[in-house]
Homo-oligomer: A and B are copies of this chain.
Amino acid sequence: MLFMAQMTVRIPHSLAPAFVEQLKADEKALSQQLQREGKWRHLWRVTGQYANVSIFDVASNDELHTLLTSLPLYPYMDITVTPLAQHGSAIVQN
């Protein structure tokens, strides 16, 4: 079941640079693991912004919530979730 998540990252300027770098590295590692598992199906950068458009493939709302709140950058992100359904004109199944 697919969901679009639009995430905007707002890291406070007061955070220590080393802490931020570690957060980003951990975020990247977990993100790539979830992509390889097929949970995080697509990840695109919004041009000109510290933001992304993501497509998740999960079994339930609960799984998605657990996944998103496990992201290291979660405390610093604004996230909106849009549930996606099968489009009648799509030539592939979701």
Report A's interface with B, CB cutoff 8 A.
Answer: 1-5, 12-15, 27-28, 31-32, 35-36, 42-49, 52-53, 55, 60-62, 64-66, 68-69, 75, 79-92, 94
Residues in B neighbouring A81, C-beta threshold 8 A = 47-49, 83
Return the chain B residue nearest A13 by Cβ: B12
A36 pairs with B91, CB closer than 8 A: yes
B61 pairs with A1, CB closer than 8 A: yes
Apart from A12-B13, A49-B81: 11 A-B pairs, beta carbons within 8 A? A2-B61, A32-B91, A43-B87, A43-B89, A44-B85, A44-B90, A47-B65, A48-B65, A48-B81, A49-B80, A64-B83
